[in-house]
Chains A and B, each alone.
Chain A
């Protein structure tokens, strides 16, 4: 690097060190402010609570479940279809397995499934959207038309078709749902990139000599993350719902996997008598989807304010 015009060795160095020390504090304040804004909405906090509960259940299922074995192939027909009691807080199913334990392990499946599916959808969808939006032209057109085709089919139908074609199991269900889900991210990112492409700070980057990849990833993408994060959070709930739906139809997780949808399918026949067998897994799905929805909404509210801040130039 060419020597700068004026060399002040002590000055900038000392300032930089001091600024770095301040930075840690500043970062903490910024997080705290986000948290404060998030806290304003009770519903968002409820959502966060539910999501945390589900994640904890998933992580600590082996420890929390009173009958961990029941999540596998252990059966106990003597205890089949027992109503909720002190011994089985949520009752037992038709194979005598503790429903609570199975639900906890089901959380593990659902959360893993949700995260994996969305990771794939984002990893595939976002770069495609970036390329389509920034490069444009024939390539962009091609990508978006393919995306359009996928978007024309309802995701559940698409996932159904794919699983039906492959052997029905959980892994294939995950692949199928990811297959159906990526186009939404492409479309979302495409729109974001189009609007950001002409922004002055992007032009400034071009003026510096930055190449298109650098601009797409370092300038545009960080500004597009908010809607992606919000959508991913909301989607987690819906992906879980879709997976449960597939399992319910017998096309996803197979017995004896304690997936919530499968459990509902198994317990459905015993309604309304042994209502607990189908109802509690159903409630688990409902609460989980609700939780992610509320959390996603809360995140969106927080991010919206941020976006308004910089858009208004304030």
Chain B
């Protein structure tokens, strides 16, 4: 049972110029994303800048309004709800942001920050709220005595992120969307926060949508991984499968670029693939397959035909190499006796 589903989600940002706000172009930040987050599980959205992963996260919690497509939460279509109708829904889905330094109001003390959700929804008396905040802080391993009345600038990065998590848990949500929650943290602090998140998921039965660019991190957290490029999902599969048998050329390239720490891991990586060029701007998405200009396995049709997300062996891949209509040859490096082409 999926707690969250999206169907062909699209978000377009217009580019305007001049005094009269003429529309001169558009950025298709999210271009037809369909996914389902299993209840109680973790789905990871992985991608680099411009991939649309952050925007997708925001669309799901309705911080943004989709241009097209649908978002279903607990079976309910929340795509077009207005703010008033969304309020009760917001209690069950919360977001944890990337930079803990700026996601907490610097002028408020910790207890005010964590009790804010309770205040907004009119829950409890001041005394009850304070007690609840203390409980929440306890749950995220911050002793209330020391942390209730501190300001964010007196906290370390890891502590701030714990406060952000406590705030997100205040309304007892079912879904947490975590947008790069540990990118700004040191490795050892990241490990502790991840351990905390795992524990919370178990204790509270939470569902996570985990957005990250760090594949190694995702390997340790996710049940399902969706790789995004320029607004589209290019590959989606159970975590183990994506790492053991990446199918989309971009996924392989991304994996091969991970700076690993040990020889064991280096053996697990695909052979090093250096992508040519840089990620194009989302305002000028290449025609056909968005990835084709940089793809080492590019074929003639790739600049004309947009591949669909097709099921392949328990995974879903968006690449003509797997499309039966084009012969479904698969990746060049997996062809017996074939010399790999270069980009």
A residues lining the B interface (CB < 8 Å): 1-2, 4-6, 8, 11-13, 15-16, 18-20, 22-23, 26, 199-201, 203-211, 214, 219, 222-223, 225, 309-310, 313-314
B107 near A5 with CB under 8 A, answer no
Interfacial chain A residues near B124, Cβ < 8 Å:
1
Binds A, one of B33-41, B148-156, B260-268: B148-156
Known contacts A11-B138, A222-B108; A208/B116 CB under 8 A: yes
Known contacts A16-B130, A16-B144, A18-B145; A209/B116 CB under 8 A: no
Known contacts A209-B90, A209-B91; A1/B132 CB under 8 A: yes
Known contacts A200-B102, A207-B95; A26/B134 CB under 8 A: no
Contact of B135 among A12, A225, A309 (CB under 8 A): A12
Q: Which residue of A lies closest to B118 (CB)?
A: A1
B103 near A201 with CB under 8 A, answer yes
Interfacial chain A residues near B278, Cβ < 8 Å:
none
Contact of A15 among B87, B95, B121, B144 (CB under 8 A): B144
Contact of B107 among A8, A11, A223 (CB under 8 A): A223
B287 contacts partner chain A, Cβ-Cβ < 8 Å: no
B63 near A206 with CB under 8 A, answer yes
Q: A19-B134, A208-B117 are in contact. List 10 more A-B contacts (CB 8 A).
A: A15-B143, A18-B145, A200-B99, A203-B97, A205-B105, A208-B167, A209-B86, A209-B121, A309-B153, A314-B153
Interfacial chain B residues near A309, Cβ < 8 Å:
153
Q: Which residue of A lies closest to B156 (CB)?
A: A314
Known contacts A1-B124, A22-B145; A16/B102 CB under 8 A: no
B149 near A19 with CB under 8 A, answer yes
In chain B, positions 294-334 with a C-beta closer than 8 Å to chain A are none
Known contacts A200-B99, A208-B120; A15/B105 CB under 8 A: no
Which bucket holds chain B's interface residue count? 35 or more
Contact of B134 among A16, A23, A206, A222 (CB under 8 A): A16
B83 near A207 with CB under 8 A, answer no
B148 near A1 with CB under 8 A, answer no
Q: With the chains together, A211 CA to B10 CA distance in Å? A: 26
In chain B, positions 162-210 with a C-beta closer than 8 Å to chain A are 164, 167, 171-172, 184, 203-204
B61 contacts partner chain A, Cβ-Cβ < 8 Å: yes
Q: With the chains together, A2 CA to B170 CA distance in Å? A: 12
Known contacts A207-B63, A210-B120; A16/B131 CB under 8 A: yes
B residues lining the A interface (CB < 8 Å): 61, 63, 83, 86-87, 90-91, 94-95, 97-99, 101-108, 116-118, 120-121, 123-124, 128, 130-132, 134-135, 138, 143-146, 148-150, 152-153, 157, 164, 167, 171-172, 184, 203-204
In the A-B complex, the 10 residue pairs with the closest CB atoms? A313-B101, A12-B134, A310-B106, A222-B107, A19-B148, A209-B90, A15-B144, A200-B103, A1-B124, A23-B149
Q: With the chains together, A23 CA to B145 CA distance in Å? A: 10
B95 near A209 with CB under 8 A, answer no
Minimum CB–CB distance from B300 to chain A (whole Å) comes to: 44
Minimum CB–CB distance from A138 to chain B (whole Å) comes to: 12
Interfacial chain B residues near A203, Cβ < 8 Å:
63, 97, 103
Q: Which residue of A lies closest to B128 (CB)?
A: A1
Q: Which residue of B lies closest to A207 (CB)?
A: B95
Known contacts A203-B63, A207-B94, A313-B102; A26/B108 CB under 8 A: no
A199 near B107 with CB under 8 A, answer no
Q: Which residue of A lies closest to B113 (CB)?
A: A201
Minimum CB–CB distance from A115 to chain B (whole Å) comes to: 25
Interfacial chain A residues near B86, Cβ < 8 Å:
209
B144 near A207 with CB under 8 A, answer no
25 pairs from A and B in contact (CB 8 Å cutoff): A1-B124, A2-B172, A4-B132, A4-B135, A12-B138, A15-B134, A15-B148, A19-B145, A22-B145, A22-B149, A23-B148, A201-B104, A205-B120, A207-B61, A207-B63, A208-B171, A209-B87, A209-B90, A209-B117, A222-B105, A223-B106, A309-B153, A310-B152, A310-B153, A313-B99
B148 near A310 with CB under 8 A, answer no
Minimum CB–CB distance from A275 to chain B (whole Å) comes to: 51
Interfacial chain B residues near A313, Cβ < 8 Å:
99, 101-102, 157, 184
Minimum CB–CB distance from B109 to chain A (whole Å) comes to: 9
Q: With the chains together, A257 CA to B63 CA distance in Å? A: 59
Q: With the chains together, A205 CA to B61 CA distance in Å? A: 13
Q: With the chains together, A208 CA to B117 CA distance in Å? A: 6
Q: Which residue of A lies closest to B93 (CB)?
A: A207
Minimum CB–CB distance from A311 to chain B (whole Å) comes to: 8
Q: With the chains together, A1 CA to B204 CA distance in Å? A: 18
B116 near A210 with CB under 8 A, answer yes
Q: Which residue of B lies closest to A18 (CB)?
A: B145
Minimum CB–CB distance from A140 to chain B (whole Å) comes to: 14
